[in-house]
Chains A and B, each alone.
Chain A
């Protein structure tokens, strides 16, 4: 397709998704088990009417932190998925490629078994997620082969090992409450959201996004492989390393606060590429707005329709699989030609 048409389409979708993000952000503050009518919502926000103290408290103390968290987790996981898929030139990989999510899950499970507070669960999850990726990279170095395939293989090995550890922890956790807590954490939730956690999450995600937006051209070149990048003047090893570090931090910081959330890192990059092609200066901004909107919608659905919250991964799984099938149908011509999707 003509570059000007793609550019125009990207601008239209980016504008529409920003509007959608704002609308769903407001809906995220209004909707839930206790729905707030639109006039009460605006009165509670913009006036100090004492009769709306309950609504104001729900909006400010409960829904604002979790909606912000949903938006930034959505941005983080979508971007991370996009970057992993582009860097490893495999559109079927997810942010857990190098074992960060399974590592974080083991960290969280250990903290839960030890009976630590939710803050420590997040810290354990974050550190263990990073440690797992570090081990993955170290194992790939043993092969003395800088290829992405070896790194991918190491990720599968370490991820498998961490999954086994997680199963052992669950098996040996003893009481049913601990096991339930681990299982619930693994399925993801924004219940533990608060503003102090949001500030950390926002800080990390914003820094990563700023760096990524500065290096969109090197990202495009890294996607073309080592020979292409290097002979065009891009330090492939440096930029690939930087992209992997940023993606890992984005995944770890997202997962440590809300548990593992599946599908978003796989589905959003595919939608974004359908619209904007494979130019990082277009796909990254779209991933930010689409990912944030998608996650807010998931959060609203997870807490609106039932008395108890539905785990995030259940909602993302249901939505994600349907969307993924639709994407495959849209791309069926390429699939039939055995071309890359």
Chain B
């Protein structure tokens, strides 16, 4: 399913002079991996929230396939896309297993609870992501990085064709960053569409993704990571200290 935004604008305060997102037009193709890059406050998180239907556009629209997002029922949205927030605002005192089972909600009637089949999905995904040992712990008892992986696991359990992830690696150490990005790479191979925001251009290179560069609420450039992640393209956004480092034997975006 393709995703389009048409003249998408958003203001948190309707009286604000400057919108957070300003007439944004995107055309995201089915089965692609797309990384949103840009400075803090440029509108990446807002864009992901608009795509997830958690904020209403001030102007313009979000189109999934041929349907406007506002015309898609909440239950049906959860069958199309899963969303991973930057910071989870979940209750601390429920077990990871119980939280992960919420990912199966889109397959249940309102009066049903996750059963044996759903719990098997939970266990299989937990095994795949290496978090089986956390299943009986409460969300408040695991580290920030582990929580991030749990949130991603829950999104994968939802089994949607589109994944929306807001800075999924922000709380992770190098090892877990690699784990999450590797998982996303393997998920992408299954044909899923992935849209994630990140502060690290190297993640786009690792994922060999499309890149959408956002600056001041508008798309300032887009294209394949290998073509777009160049010093001359990044300096206008991140500043003149951006450079290419070859210390590790391969090209990596770094700072002087």
Contact = CB atoms under 8 A, between A and B. Distances in A.
A196 B60 CA distance: 58
B90 A235 contact: no
Given A2-B136, A3-B136, A225 B79 contact: no
B21 to A, nearest CB: 18
A221 B77 CA distance: 16
B112 interface: yes
B82 interface: yes
A217 B112 contact: yes
Contacts of B52: 227, 231
Which of A1, A223, A228, A231 is the most central at the interface, judged by chain B CB atoms within 10 Å of its CB?
Answer: A231
A235 to B, nearest CB: 5
A99 to B, nearest CB: 25
Contact of A214 (B83, B102, B111): B111
A231 B78 contact: yes
A292 B92 CA distance: 29
A233 interface: yes
Given A214-B111, A235-B75, A228 B94 contact: no
B91 A224 contact: yes
A233 B77 contact: yes
B89 A227 contact: yes
A224 B54 contact: no
B74 interface: yes
B54 A227 contact: yes
Interface string B102-128: 110110101111100000000000000
A108 to B, nearest CB: 36
B105 A232 contact: yes
Which of B79, B91, B140 is the most central at the interface, judged by chain A CB atoms within 10 Å of its CB?
Answer: B91
Contact of B108 (A217, A228, A231): A217
B78 A233 contact: yes
Q: How large is the interface on B (under 10, 10 to 19, 20 to 34, 35 or more residues)?
A: 35 or more
Contact of B93 (A2, A226, A340): A340
Q: How large is the interface on A (under 10, 10 to 19, 20 to 34, 35 or more residues)?
A: 20 to 34
B92 A339 contact: yes
Interface string A104-119: 0000000000000000
B95 A3 contact: yes
B1 to A, nearest CB: 16
A244 interface: no
B7 interface: no
B83 A223 contact: no
A197 interface: no
A339 B91 CA distance: 11
Contacts of A273: 93
B176 interface: no
Contacts of A218: 110
A216 interface: yes
Contacts of B112: 217
A3 B98 contact: yes
Interface string A204-242: 000000000011111011011111101111111000000
Interface stretch (A58-66, A159-167, A170-178, A276-284): A276-284
B145 interface: no
Given A228-B102, A230-B74, A232-B105, A217 B94 contact: no
Interface in A247-273: 273
A3 B110 CA distance: 22
Nearest to B157: A232
B169 interface: no
Interface of A: 1-3, 89, 214-218, 220-221, 223-228, 230-236, 273, 277-279, 281, 339-340
Interface of B: 52-54, 74-75, 77-79, 81-83, 85, 88-95, 97-99, 102-103, 105-106, 108, 110-114, 136, 140, 158
26 contacts: A89-B91, A216-B113, A217-B105, A217-B112, A217-B113, A217-B114, A220-B98, A223-B91, A224-B90, A224-B99, A224-B102, A225-B89, A227-B85, A230-B77, A231-B83, A232-B103, A233-B77, A233-B78, A234-B75, A234-B105, A273-B93, A277-B94, A278-B93, A278-B98, A279-B98, A281-B113
Given A220-B98, A230-B77, A232-B103, 16 more contacts: A1-B95, A2-B136, A3-B98, A220-B102, A221-B105, A224-B99, A225-B90, A228-B88, A231-B54, A231-B77, A231-B81, A232-B106, A233-B78, A273-B93, A277-B98, A340-B93
